[in-house]
Amino acid sequence: MKEEVNVLTIVIPIFNEEDGIERILPAFEEYINQSKFEVLLLLVNDGSTDNSLSEIRKAAAYYEHVDFISFEKNAGLSAAIRAGFEKSRSKWVGYIDADLQTDPMDFLKLEAMIPDYDLVTGRRAGRKDSAVKKLSSTFANWFRDSMLHDGVHDSGCPLKIMRRSVALNMPFFKGMHRFFPALTLIQGKKVIEIPIKHYPRITGKSKFNVWNRLLSPLLDTIAIRWLKNRQVASTISESSITSQKVGINE
């Protein structure tokens, strides 16, 4: 299937967010009207046990630019994001959380940078989270940057745009969404971080605890440091392979 170069697919993972789904689509209207892309929204139901899937089906039936996929059971945020990237066919893919603590209008700031970068990620300014969540996130970001030197202050920010090809070249594992910048840099690609707005959560509740916000990411950081140190760079200087021979759609 040919890749759509003037389309941006934004993946929105959803797990037990039934009360907030009706807010998601209207929140995107102004951004979609101003975007230089044809914006498609892909809702990924991560095995919700409430009425989220029913609300998602209604949204997809009502809006032409909305599609959805649904997991049989909960697989986690990284799996939901990855599945969305795999199912999209646009050159560029974005990601935002369903809780709308980040503003879809800030995608315009990210769009402005993608001609020169392969991943543009937000940095939440004035975070409206609990003290425990902010403290654990600050420590995890410090530890990650100390180990990986990715130069990013808010790696887990749920507002990003990246090249789909770069995203699909990343190794998949639970929690990978926190390491998109480092995994992009490992490929020799370019990353930039842009300040964005942040809001308090209005509906639903956080799906993370101390283990999956702090301890598990620390172990993942060590694993990625190992991967980074073991990478081998190679450059092909000549090849007879063409897209016509191997059936690649450019």
| In the chain, domain spans | 4-246
pLDDT tens digits along 34-78: 999 999 999 999 999 999 999 999 999 999 999 999 999 999 999
For range 102-118, the mean pLDDT: 97
21-34 helix and 52-62 helix, angle to the nearest 10 degrees = 30
Question: Which numeric CATH code is attached to 4-246?
Answer: 3.90.550.10
For range 67-90, the mean pLDDT: 96
Contacting residues for 160 by C-beta, under 8 A, at least 6 apart = 94, 95, 110, 119, 120, 121, 122, 180
pLDDT at 234: 67
**Phi and psi of 127, rounded to 5°?**
-55, 135
pLDDT band at 82 (very low <50, low <70, confident <90, very high): very high
pLDDT at 237 over 90: no
Are 84 and 13 in contact by the 8 Å Cβ rule? The answer is yes
Q: What is the distance between the alpha carbons of residues 40 and 94, in angstroms, rounded to a whole number? A: 10
